[in-house]
């Protein structure tokens, strides 16, 4: 065909690849492996450009390494449980399973239309019992090891919807959906003890050398390790002690008041009778304010005095005990020693309520802070202690060590390490998720701690439901309404019992799916440990940076657990992480319905074909960078492929030319262009610099066009090779046109199954300097090497020349003569 018509060729190649099983992993057992993975999608029905880009990054890489001879694993699956399908069901009564299946079908069709190279034999769907039974299995293993537990925690309870709602849905104490009052309610929930791994997860970050620094530092902050001390302040006139947590025990002599969280358990005990009314009112007000609002930037600091006093453990001096909005009960010990001279927050609070300010750390510069109320702002840096008894004159760091040691020796405190990270509460009042495999039996388990379902009874399947009756969005968790399911028998006594009606957070599903791909139908365990030894860790993982601290932390935690369970040998799931940038609309705003700037992948594929869509998206910028959509550049990508097509068609008569050399003049130029292109594109792909790889191919195309038609047998043979090389370098990016061209030039296999040829080093050097190559003083060859080439480079290129090799064959080298920028001479005999 004279004209480039992608619609006429792309479907054909997709079918052929599929039928031939070209992308099956595990077919090259002795070869080195590459496991290339993109974050599995929530099947929302339609693909957007973010998906296109995400999958292309992995796809280009996967195709390239397949050509380099690797056994490549590149799987795809569905994060199929979750809220959108359930909310849609609440609206229109379509069962989430039905909706999800429809979405998967259409999403998969779109993936196919873009020519992605997935091993579909390993497809995983997290909403299938064969998958989620292993979530349940993990749950039970972790329960036995104390890594899963049941706790009570505060939730936002909407008195109208009769359900738990998220912090974001609470506006001024009322529900965003129905305007009813929202109350704090203590609810039981299931949690993973991820904090047991805080330090391990922190240390592991140091080994993740190929993760973006932005992501590892977000995880570091999220885990939030801080070294500090705990100290006991005795409550005056009572046997109680307030234990505070501080990172600045060196400031303890400057503590002028103590603050408890409003919900601290000692508040009721210490409050003086005459302060009772005011304190209770404040506590109630705080209970009605969400934590987010309490801590919001610029939130006013407020508090009340309890009427009680606590004794400084070092000075024995009494200081007033307050409660305030900015102290949280779930951080540290829920109690703070306040040092207004050295902490900004304490300083503001002291100013507002007229509490004393006492500097006890002086700047290391030797300058002296103004005393007391004259201090204009808190001095928050380390320095030298003053007015601190026997510790005066010590530097902050040293004082911290000594003060902590003293507390410890006296049994009144200790040095501590605290982490900001919280355990992961994972039970959800939803239908469309993994049932938690627990039953409650009043007889065997009066405290309702929960009895695990025996492993051999797994999976606990989601029941069939009357969608409209069960998925209403109101009241108890949906599964609690399914009497035939929720009522069961106790595995211990056989008496009546009730199932846990909450389901698991969908982040559980994505914690280990990368391992399920290794043996997706395995029925003995979540995955086959032998396969894990072959394939883990994932070599390259591509996804959105928005997952920095949830998914990307949770799956690191899960990987540690899988190792402890003897399932997998690795400490970390992923070697190299690539977080792709955003595709904005042509107006520079993130593509969104709201802005009306969305470009649907299907539209582009229909108009220009998948190869144009692929080439454009990969050319538009480095993977990690955002880019703005440009119709003009899409046109440009299409014109580029038309030129590829025209070039291939116009030279078709050279296909199959047999010629063995030598190559000189134009023929040599053609070959040099081809080998330089192989080198440049290969190196760029390995750096994930896909845009420069395509730029290299474009330059190559220009060079071939400029060289014009091939006339002599040498030129024809060189051109035939050059066009095969063009097909090779295009394969990762635009695989359909690549296979079409290669086939016309006599290829017997799919280009992706052909080896990515090694470039010939002699052909890639820059042509500035010609060298005469002599053997025993007789000219045997002329080579060209880069001006920067060293003596060793020139010698290597000369030795690699066929004619030089022939002249030296069977003889021993006696001497090597090197005349810079002129000639080399091999003296042999
Ligand atoms: C006295 C002090 C003096 C403090 C000083 C700081 C500076 P990070 O580093 O984030 O861990 N704090 C402790 N528990 C708290 C709670 N439950 N809610 C609010 N604030 C709390 O911060 C630890 C510091 O935050 C602690 O050190 C404590 O104030 C405060 F010159 O203690 B500091
Ligand atoms: Zn029982």
> Whose atoms come closest to the Cα of 492: which ligand?
2
Strand pairing report for 361-362 and 384-385: antiparallel
**Which of 242, 248, 299 to mutate to test ligand 1, by most ligand atoms within 8 A of the CB atom?**
248
The CA 427 to ligand 2 mean position distance, Å, reads 23
Examine the pLDDT at 768 and tell me if it is beyond 70: no
- Alpha-carbon distance 358 to 339, whole Å? 8
Rounded-to-integer distance, Cα 511 and Cα 84, Å:
20
Q: Say what angle helices 610-619 and 690-707 make with each other, to 10 degrees.
A: 110
Side-chain half-sphere of 27: how many Cα atoms within 13 Å? 14
Copy the structure tokens of residue 666: 């134009």
Binding site membership of 421 for ligand 1 (Cβ less than 6 Å):
no
Give yes or no for residue 473 having a pLDDT over 90. Answer: no
Give the pLDDT of residue 344.
95
Q: Could you report the per-residue pLDDT of 574-616, keeping only the tens digit for each?
A: 999 999 999 999 999 999 888 999 999 999 999 999 999 999 9
Are 729 and 678 in contact by the 8 Å Cβ rule? The answer is yes
207 lines ligand 1 (CB under 6 A): no
Q: How confident is the model at residue 743 (pLDDT cuts 50, 70, 90)?
A: very high
Tokens encoding 275: 């302060």
Domains and CATH numbers, the chain: 6-126+507-580 (3.40.50.620), 137-193+424-504 (2.170.220), 225-419 (3.90.740.10), 601-763 (1.10.730.10), 765-828 (3.10.20.590)
Any idea of the CA torsion for 135, 140, 145, 150, to the nearest 10 degrees? 90
Candidate from 303, 330, 332 with most ligand 1 atoms within 8 A of CB, to mutate:
332
Q: Binding site annotation covers 422? A: no
Measured distance CA(781)–CA(771) in Å, rounded: 8
Count other C-beta atoms under 10 Å from residue 370's C-beta.
10
* Res 739: pLDDT: 97
Say if ligand 1 is within 6 A of residue 629 CB. no
**Residue 167 pLDDT class (50, 70, 90 cuts):** confident
What pLDDT, on the 0 to 100 scale, is given for residue 607? 97
What is the DSSP code string of 760-813?
PHHHHS-TTEEEEEEETTEEEEEEEE-TT--HHHHHHHHHH-HHHHHHHTT--E
**Average of per-residue pLDDT across 748-772:** 88
Predicted confidence (pLDDT) per residue in 326-372, tens digit: 999 988 899 999 999 999 999 999 999 999 999 999 999 989 999 87
Q: Helices marked H in 179-317 — which ranges?
A: 198-205, 213-223, 267-270, 276-287, 291-295
Mean pLDDT score of the chain, rounded to an integer?
94
Task: Say if ligand 1 is within 6 A of residue 634 CB.
Answer: no
Gap from CA of 642 to ligand 1 centroid (Å): 65
What is the model's pLDDT at position 767? 59
Q: Over the stretch 404-429, which tens digit does the pLDDT of each residue have?
A: 999 999 999 999 998 999 999 999 99
Which pTM does this prediction carry?
0.82
User: Which pair of structure tokens corresponds to residue 586?
Assistant: 């042509």
The 10s digit of each residue's pLDDT in 90-106 is 999 999 999 999 999 99
DSSP 8-class letter at 549: T
Decide if pLDDT at 447 tops 80: yes
Provide mean pLDDT across the span 114-122: 97
Is residue 525 pLDDT above 70, yes or no? yes
**With a 6 A CB cut-off, is 246 part of the ligand 1 pocket?**
yes
What is the SS3 assignment for 125? strand
Closest ligand, as measured to the CA of 440: 2
pLDDT digits (tens, 9 = 90+) for 129-160: 999 999 999 999 999 999 999 998 888 888 88
Confirm or reject: Cβ of 342 under 6 Å from ligand 1.
yes
pLDDT for 243 equals 97
List pLDDT tens digits, range 185-209: 888 999 999 999 999 999 999 999 9
In the block, tokens 């902590």 appear at 404
Q: Is 256 in the pocket of ligand 1 (CB under 6 A)?
A: no
Instruction: Please tell me the distance between residue 486's alpha carbon and the centre of ligand 2 in angstroms.
Output: 15
Residue 96: name the closest of 428, 432, 430, 469 by CA: 432
pLDDT digits (tens, 9 = 90+) for 378-404: 999 999 999 999 999 999 999 999 999
Q: What is the pLDDT of residues 688-706, one digit of tens each?
A: 999 999 999 999 999 999 9
């Amino acid at each position: 065909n004279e004209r480039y018509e992608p619609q006429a060729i792309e479907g054909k190649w997709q079918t052929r690849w599929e039928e031939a099983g070209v992308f099956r992993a595990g077919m090259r057992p002795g070869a080195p492996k590459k496991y290339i993975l993109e974050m599995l999608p929530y099947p929302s029905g339609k693909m957007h450009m973010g998906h296109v880009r995400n999958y292309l990054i992995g796809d280009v890489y996967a195709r390239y390494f397949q050509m380099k001879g690797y056994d490549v694993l590149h799987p795809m699956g569905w994060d199929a449980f979750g809220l959108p399908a359930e909310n849609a069901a609440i609206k229109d009564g379509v069962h989430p399973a039905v909706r999800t299946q429809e979405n998967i079908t259409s999403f998969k069709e779109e993936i196919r239309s873009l020519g992605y190279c997935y091993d579909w034999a390993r497809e995983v769907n997290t909403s299938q019992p064969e998958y989620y039974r292993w979530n349940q299995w993990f749950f039970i293993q972790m329960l036995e090891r104390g890594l899963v537990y049941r706790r009570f925690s505060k939730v936002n309870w909407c008195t109208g919807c009769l359900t738990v709602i998220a912090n974001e849905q609470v506006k001024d104490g009322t529900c965003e959906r129905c305007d009813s009052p929202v109350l704090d309610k203590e609810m039981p929930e299931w949690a993973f003890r991820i904090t047991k791994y805080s330090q391990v997860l922190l240390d592991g970050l140091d080994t993740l050398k190929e993760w973006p620094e932005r992501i590892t530092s977000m995880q570091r902050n999220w885990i939030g390790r801080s070294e500090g001390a705990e100290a006991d302040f005795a409550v005056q006139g009572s046997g109680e002690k307030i234990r505070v947590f501080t990172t600045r025990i060196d400031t303890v002599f400057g503590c002028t008041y103590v603050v408890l969280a409003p919900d601290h358990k000692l508040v009721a005990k210490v409050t003086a009778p005459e302060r009772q009314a005011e304190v209770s009112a404040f506590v109630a007000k705080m209970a009605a304010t969400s934590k987010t609002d309490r801590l919001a930037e610029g939130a006013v600091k407020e508090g009340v005095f309890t009427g009680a006093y606590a004794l400084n453990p070092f000075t024995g001096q009494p200081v007033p005990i307050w409660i305030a909005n900015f102290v949280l009960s779930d951080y540290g010990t829920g109690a703070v020693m306040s040092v207004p001279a050295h902490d900004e927050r304490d300083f503001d609070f002291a100013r507002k309520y007229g509490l004393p300010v006492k500097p006890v750390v002086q700047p290391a510069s030797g300058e002296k802070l103004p005393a007391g109320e004259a201090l204009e702002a808190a001095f928050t840096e380390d320095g030298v202690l003053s007015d601190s008894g026997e510790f005066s004159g010590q530097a902050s760091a040293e004082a911290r060590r000594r003060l902590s040691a003293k507390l410890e020796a006296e049994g009144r405190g200790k040095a501590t390490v605290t982490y900001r990270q919280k355990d992961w509460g994972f039970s959800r009042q939803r239908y469309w998720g993994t049932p938690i495999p627990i039953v409650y039996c009043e007889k065997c388990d009066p405290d309702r701690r929960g009895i695990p379902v025996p492993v051999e009874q797994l999976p606990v399947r989601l029941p069939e439901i009357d969608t409209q009756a069960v998925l209403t969005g109101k009241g108890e968790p949906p599964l609690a309404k399914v009497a035939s399911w929720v009522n069961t028998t106790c595995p211990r006594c056989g008496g009546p019992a009730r199932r846990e009606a909450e389901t698991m957070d969908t982040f559980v599903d994505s914690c280990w799916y990368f391992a399920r791909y290794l043996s997706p139908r395995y029925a003995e365990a979540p995955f086959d440990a032998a396969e894990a030894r072959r394939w883990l860790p994932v070599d390259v993982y591509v996804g959105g940076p928005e997952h920095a601290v949830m998914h990307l932390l949770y799956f690191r935690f899960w990987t540690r657990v899988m190792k402890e369970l003897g399932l997998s040998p690795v400490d970390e799931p992923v070697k190299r992480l690539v977080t792709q940038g955003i595709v904005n609309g042509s107006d520079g705003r993130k593509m969104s319905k709201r802005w009306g700037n969305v470009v649907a992948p299907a539209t582009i594929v229909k108009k220009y074909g998948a190869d144009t869509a692929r080439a454009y998206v990969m050319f538009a910028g480095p993977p990690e960078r955002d880019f703005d959509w440009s119709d003009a550049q899409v046109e440009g990508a299409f014109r580029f492929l038309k030129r590829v097509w025209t070039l291939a068609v116009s030279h078709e008569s050279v296909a199959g030319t047999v010629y063995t050399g030598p190559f000189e003049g134009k023929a040599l130029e053609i070959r040099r262009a081809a080998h330089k292109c192989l080198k440049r594109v290969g190196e760029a792909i390995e750096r994930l610099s896909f845009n420069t790889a395509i730029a290299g191919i474009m330059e190559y195309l220009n060079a071939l066009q400029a060289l014009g038609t091939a006339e002599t047998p040498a030129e024809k043979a060189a051109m035939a090779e050059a066009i095969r090389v063009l097909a090779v370098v295009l394969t990762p990016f635009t695989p359909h046109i690549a296979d079409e061209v290669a086939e016309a030039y006599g290829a017997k296999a799919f280009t992706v199954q052909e080896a990515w040829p090694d470039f010939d080093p002699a052909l890639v050097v820059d042509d500035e300097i010609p060298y005469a190559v002599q053997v025993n003083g007789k000219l045997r060859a002329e080579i060209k090497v880069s001006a920067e080439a060293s003596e060793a480079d020139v010698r290597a290129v000369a030795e690699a020349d066929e004619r030089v090799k022939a002249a030296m064959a069977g003889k021993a080298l006696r001497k090597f003569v090197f005349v810079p920028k002129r000639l080399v001479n091999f003296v042999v005999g």
